[in-house]
Structures are given as structure tokens and as C-alpha cells.
Amino acid sequence: MRLEEAKRRMGDRTRTGSSGYFTNIVLKNPHRSMTFYGRKGERIEILLYLTEVRKLDGAFTPEQFTPVYFINDRLSGWGWDSLQLLKEGKRLGEDCQSKLLEAQRLPKKLLGV
């Protein structure tokens, strides 16, 4: 599957459902995307989808995200374990997780619709 088709199928919003004070909060997805290049020049694009919401305080942890990655515009895998199977997987996983941890607070523009 190609990148654009996967994005279309996955959608660009995530609903949190009802819990307490909040009802159907909608967040943009993928939450973040990153592009890397492999040793042989292959383009590796990683989309990080928020797949688990524990609290709506914006302090998301990497475990709450599912990476979906593409090599040269083709779906190659998803999940942290799958990402580790790439030659550069450990480094890519660490880079993704550190980028997620840099942005601890949920930007207001991600809330609503």
C-alpha cells in the first residue's frame, strides 16, 4: 500500500470517546511524522498515530503511539517491535521516542473539531 492510500484509510482524526467531563474529544492524526534516509538512500517515513489515550492532559508517552512506517512510499510495517527489525530500527525508534518526549504538552490546535 502506498503512503497516500494508507493515510486516507487511517483517517486524520482520532476520537477519544466519552469519559467523565470530556465527550468525544477529537485529535489530529498522525500526531507527528518524521522522514529519515537509510544508508542506501531509501526514504523512510514514519507516521506516529495516537492509538491510546489515558488522560487528556497532553502528556503522552511513546507507548501511546503506534508508528506506521513506509520505505520509498510503500507501507513496510507498524508498531515499535516491527520498527526495530529495520537495520536502522533501533536508532529510528529512539529518535521517534525522543521527538515525542520533546513535545510533552498537547498543542491547543490539536484539540477540537
Query: What is the 3 state secondary structure string of the chain?
Result: CEHHHHHHHHCCEEECCCECCECCCEEECCCEEEEEECCCCCEEEEEEEECCCCCCCCCCCHHHEEEEEEECCEEEEECHHHHHCCCCHHHHHHHHHHHHHHCCCCCHHHECC
What is the spatial distance between Cα 106 and Cα 90, in angstroms, rounded to a whole number? 26
State pLDDT tens for residues 50-69: 888 776 666 778 888 899 99
Beta bridge partners of 13: 28
Domain count for the chain: 1
Within 10 angstroms of residue 108's Cβ, the number of other Cβ atoms is 8
Distance CA 11, CA 27 (A): 11
Find the domain containing 40 and state its range: 3-110
Tally Cβ neighbours within 10 Å of residue 27: 19
**Stronger pLDDT, 72 or 104, i.e. the higher one:** 72
pLDDT at 108 exceeding the cut of 60: no
Model confidence, pTM: 0.72
